[in-house]
């Protein structure tokens, strides 16, 4: 049986994709200012510094997270380091259109992983909702011309995006299912700082590899600083807080459907940048994605 969603839960699970869509737009604009792995590492460094006054106690020697360091090492790998690293690797050889299309399989992976790893039952409503949601994403990507999707050619980078999507699905389930100190998980800043304490290690390693490969790039200045502050406060701190709380108040499977709002929000936020006007297919895509969410979250 699935659960009905409260308006506050819907708001949290909607704001997170909106902020992540803004992250995609700003990250694209800052492409010439900083290399991808360095951008990810520095944004999490800033987020860590901003959160530390709220959650420094979680890093004390007697903190309950240290006996569970393997759990937080895994959360840091999947949520802080691995997903973004694979995403950036995907964009080296694939197109944003392909990457977004592949990531629209998120609801399906949420259902499959929940069933295999935690024995969570999957209802017919959830499968129907997944199909509606994926169709909505297809409408956005094809700009209302679905035969356009038949012209897509998948490359090696798309495999990295499949792995990234699976990593995020595992991360979302682990937020809800992995046992941990109640006092840490109940305080959002402490829970995120505990993940960052280990996630920064992974992100730093990926950035070091980027430098060794000769791909490191950084152009200091106010544009870069403004970019880092935005993505540290919005897509990093606030979005991860909203997503974590939304998952805990609903289920990881339901939250996965909201992830398909990202390509829609990205398309809409691109309108001011690209000088385009909203089209009818945007409304159709929104209706399909929302229908998928409603169908999947209705009580059986």
What's the 3-state SS for 211-279?
HHCCCCCECCCHHHHHHHHHHHHHHHHHHHHHHHHHHHHCCHHHHHHHCCHHHHHHHHHHHHHHCCCCC
pTM here is 0.80
Reported as a single tens digit per residue, the pLDDT across 224-253 is 999 999 999 998 999 989 998 888 888 887
Out of 3-7, 81-85, 260-264, the most confident range is 81-85
Question: What would the mean pLDDT of 14-27 be, rounded to a whole number?
Answer: 85
Reported as a single tens digit per residue, the pLDDT across 193-219 is 999 999 999 999 999 998 998 888 899
pLDDT of residue 119: 86
Contact 229, 93 (CB under 8 A): no
User: Rounded distance, CA 104 to CA 135, Å?
Assistant: 9
User: Rounded distance, CA 228 to CA 224, Å?
Assistant: 6
State both tokens at 180. Answer: 């941990």
pLDDT at 74 over 70: yes
pLDDT at 46 over 90: yes
Contact 253, 126 (CB under 8 A): yes
Question: What would the mean pLDDT of 108-133 be, rounded to a whole number?
Answer: 83
**Phi/psi of residue 260, each to 5°?**
-75, 0
User: Rounded distance, CA 201 to CA 186, Å?
Assistant: 24
State both tokens at 289. Answer: 């994605």
State both tokens at 154. Answer: 């998948």
């Amino acid at each position: 049986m699935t659960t009905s969603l409260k308006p506050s839960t819907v708001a949290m699970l909607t704001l997170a994709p909106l902020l992540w869509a803004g992250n995609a737009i700003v990250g694209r604009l800052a492409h010439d200012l900083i290399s991808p792995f360095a951008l990810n590492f520095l944004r999490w460094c800033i987020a860590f510094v901003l959160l530390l006054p709220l959650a420094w106690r979680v890093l004390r020697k007697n903190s309950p997270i240290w006996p569970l360091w393997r759990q937080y090492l895994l959360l840091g790998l999947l949520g802080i380091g691995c997903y973004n690293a694979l995403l950036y690797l995907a964009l080296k050889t694939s197109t944003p259109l392909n990457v977004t299309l592949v990531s629209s399989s998120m609801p399906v992976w949420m259902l499959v992983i929940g069933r295999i790893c935690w024995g969570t039952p999957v209802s017919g409503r959830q499968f129907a909702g997944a199909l509606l949601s994926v169709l909505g994403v297809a409408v956005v990507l094809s700009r209302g011309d679905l035969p356009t999707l038949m012209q897509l050619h998948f490359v090696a980078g798309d495999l990295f995006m499949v792995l990234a999507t699976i990593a995020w699905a595992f991360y979302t389930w682990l937020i809800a299912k992995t046992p941990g100190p109640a006092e840490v998980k109940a305080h959002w800043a402490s829970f995120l700082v505990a993940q960052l304490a280990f996630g920064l290690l992974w992100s730093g390693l990926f950035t070091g590899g980027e430098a060794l490969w000769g791909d490191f790039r950084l152009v200091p200045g106010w544009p870069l600083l403004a970019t880092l502050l935005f993505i540290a406060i919005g897509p990093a701190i606030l979005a991860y807080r909203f997503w974590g709380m939304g998952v805990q108040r609903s289920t990881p499977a339901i939250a996965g459907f909201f992830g398909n709002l990202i390509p829609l929000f990205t398309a809409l936020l691109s309108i001011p940048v690209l000088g385009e006007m909203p089209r009818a297919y945007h409304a159709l895509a929104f209706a399909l994605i929302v229908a998928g969410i409603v169908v999947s979250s209705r009580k059986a």
